[in-house]
Amino acid sequence: MAVYTRLGAEEMARIIDAFDVGTLISAKGIAEGVSNSNWLVETQRESATQRFILTMYENRVEIGDLPFFLDLLDHLAARDCPVPRTIHDRDGASYRMHDGKALALIEFLPGVSVSEPTAGQARAVGAALAQIHLAGADFPMQRANG
């Protein structure tokens, strides 16, 4: 499982509360991923249930790179690209620090991983990549490729 850092229920509830997305109902570790800890988080606000992905960036991520990647997600989402939106915390930050590690909360996009894509699915991915490429053309930030 790709959860390298364990968080207790009370600790997870405090983290989620900082993002003002409702009351934590559940948090389940996600097996996919190789370098970060990831959870599928479910919250409730009034009668609405919402799902998010919480990522704790482990030691292999440069914290200074996070604003670029998270702002890029927001930029693309604002242009109707098929990407998750970053959930900002109560202070407006796109990520928070917890015990020396960065945490980010993003929208959950439903779907399944496809093992053997069809030609139609491949075309849809190509169209989505073109949309992302065009929408990113006016993104103001730059980052050297590592």
pTM here is 0.90
- Per-residue confidence (pLDDT) for residue 2, from 0 to 100: 64
Q: Please, are residues 104 and 55 in contact by the beta-carbon 8 Å criterion?
A: yes
Query: How sure is the predictor about 66, in pLDDT bands with cuts at 50, 70 and 90?
Result: very high
**CB count in 10 Å sphere of residue 21:** 18
Question: To the nearest whole number, what is the mean pLDDT of the chain?
Answer: 93
Where does residue 144 rank: exposed (0-12), middle (13-18), buried (19+ CB within 10 A)?
A: exposed
- CA dist 42 to 48, 92, 102, 105, 109, Å? 10, 21, 20, 12, 13
Q: Tell me: the pLDDT tens digits for 83-127? A: 999 999 999 999 999 999 999 999 999 888 889 999 999 999 999
CA distance 71 to 22: 23
- Per-residue confidence (pLDDT) for residue 60, from 0 to 100: 76
